[in-house]
Amino acid sequence: MGSPVLLAVDDDAPVLAAVERDLRDRYAEHYQVLTASSGNQALDLLHRLRLREDPVALLLVDQRMPGMSGIELLTASRRLYPEARRVLLTAYADTEAAIRAINDADVHHYLLKPWDPPEDRLYPVLDDLLETWRRPAPAANLRLIGDRWSPATHDVRQFLARNLVPYRWLDVEADAQARELLEIAGVDAGELPVVVLEDGEVLARPDLHGVAQRIGLHVRAEREAYDLVIAGAGPAGLAAAVYGASEGLATLLLECSAPGGQAGTTSRIENYLGFPVGLSGADLTLRAREQATRFGAEMLVPSEAVGLARADPYTIVRIADGGEVSASALVITSGVTYRTLDVPGAAALTGMGVYYGAGRAEAVDHSGGRVFVVGGGNSAGQAAMFLSAFAASVTLLIRGEDLASTMSRYLVDRIEASDTITVGNRTEVAGVLGERRLEGLRLRTGAEEREVPADAVFVFIGQAPRTSWLDGVVRRDERGFVLTGADLGQPPEGWPLPVPPLPLETSVPRVFAAGDVRRGSVKRIASAVGEGAMAVSFVHERLAGR
């Protein structure tokens, strides 16, 4: 296996020579720089690289080429190198083609000719794309042995994937090596899942806290008291951590599962300001996590806040492992969770074909399958688009007449243009069928019920706030969302300060809420990020005695 490849493709010889020169000047030490003068030549080269198992990190492709356009080449390249970063090189007159490339070829960026000087207009873009392409080298040769249809195995796979931990997956039913390793380790198949570390240590049926500790994630706080504690590492929590730590506050971020929250599971965010070609939730999470830790924020994963107590003016946060930390200020960003599918059979098959959220592992497991997505919001639409790249068919089930009233227009347009996705209007799931795994669904349309075969169902049917841990301390509304600012009343009942609560402040002074967990919040990633940053500004105000 050779060094990762950067492939430039252009039929204009002088332009191709200039691209090759600039790429070699910057990247030749760590990458192979290859070129092709046509789409067909490039595709042939990609096939040969794939046979040699050489990694391809990035394709920089001109749009206007005879025989095969840049969009056609980038689309074809996805089958061979789905993880490669795809960049379209266009003239100013080709911006419409660039937009088509975003929608049709899933390009990650487009560059306009000319790109001089490369230090300003080429390298920053490519540096960023290559940074997100690279994944941290495994600290250990981590192998996960399990049963594909086991909920416990699914939980470990999801935890590793969401935390961007590289591992090798071995299905005990399909992989002879998995069974051989179990025999060598002396582990019975009833003790799955099994994690095998590089030093040969075997973790049988481990809890997630134990897995995290062994693979190097931080699971215990380094100190007993912090200026700022943030409960939840979704977009709001990550933003609060970045701003709090960068402004000198001793900052602790607690996350029960994986950074990014629901946004971290989103396959593609296309309406986030400053990213015209969109970015994945994993990429956004990775960038934000690195920012926060670079500024000195301490992050514990998995570490769930399970209760609060007051030691005025401090707040004591109780953690699931039995520990606790003291906070001069607390920001609640624990977010929301998707409501479960309350129909016969659904609970028993969770993780065995019934999923809440759509990750890459689940998508790959159901390649070529019949997949259903339940829900009419943006999360459901994004999941349907993502799954359509893997499944033979995706059926989006909605209770309403159409998608227009609940989903962003850009997603509706893409779903309508898809050959793989169909929409079932006025349809809901009445039952889930199967024994060891999902085999079918009972669907209800009006008074009519029918059974259909199904390999997987992904559920996005409303949200419930993660706030039960605030019982008896922080006021919430009848649905469980945290009340802040003016929503507490004027004057708030029991408010102890002579000044009213700040806009994101809860019923407890120095305790704030931001993002989806807050009543009245706008359910958008950008607004959550903004609220997380605003909360830190209000923290400073309270800590200064104002």
What is the domain-level CATH number for residue 42? Answer: 3.40.50.2300
CB environment 241-272: b (16+ within 10 A), e (fewer): bbbbbbeebbbbbbbbbbbbbbbbbbbbbbeb
Does 219 reside within a domain? no
H-type helices in 444-524, by residue range?
A: none
Q: What is the pLDDT of residue 442?
A: 97
Q: What is the pLDDT of residue 274?
A: 79
Each residue's pLDDT tens digit, 291-315: 999 999 999 999 999 999 999 999 9
Q: What is the pLDDT of residue 139?
A: 44
Question: Which of 133, 164, 191 delimits the end of a domain?
Answer: 133
Same domain, 9 and 128: yes
Q: How many domains are contained in the chain?
A: 4
Q: Are 89 and 70 in contact (CB under 8 A)?
A: yes
Same domain, 120 and 229: no
Indicate the SS3 state at residue 195: strand
Same domain, 256 and 312: yes
What is the domain-level CATH number for residue 314? Answer: 3.50.50.60
Same domain, 195 and 99: no
Question: Which of 101, 133, 165 delimits the end of a domain?
Answer: 133
Q: What is the pTM of this model?
A: 0.81
Q: What is the pLDDT of residue 98?
A: 62
Each residue's pLDDT tens digit, 41-63: 999 999 999 999 899 999 999 98
Same domain, 361 and 446: yes
Does 138 reside within a domain? no
Task: With CA atoms as reference, report the closest residue to 278 among 461, 425, 132.
Answer: 132
Residues of the chain falling short of pLDDT 70 = 1, 92-105, 135-140
Does 237 reside within a domain? yes
User: Taking the alpha carbons of 377, 381, 383, 384 in that order, is the dihedral positive or negative?
Assistant: positive
Name the residue range of residue 408's domain: 347-461
Does 220 reside within a domain? no
Indicate the SS3 state at residue 476: strand
Question: Following CA atoms 297, 298, 304, 310 in sequence, which dihedral angle do they give, to the nearest 10 degrees?
Answer: -80
Residues 6+ apart with CB under 8 A from 431: 343, 344, 345, 441, 442
Same domain, 59 and 122: yes
Under DSSP, the state recorded for 481 is P
Question: Which of 439, 461, 483 delimits the end of a domain?
Answer: 461
Does 291 reside within a domain? yes
Residue 145, both tokens: 């042995």
Mean pLDDT for the chain overall: 91
Same domain, 207 and 249: no
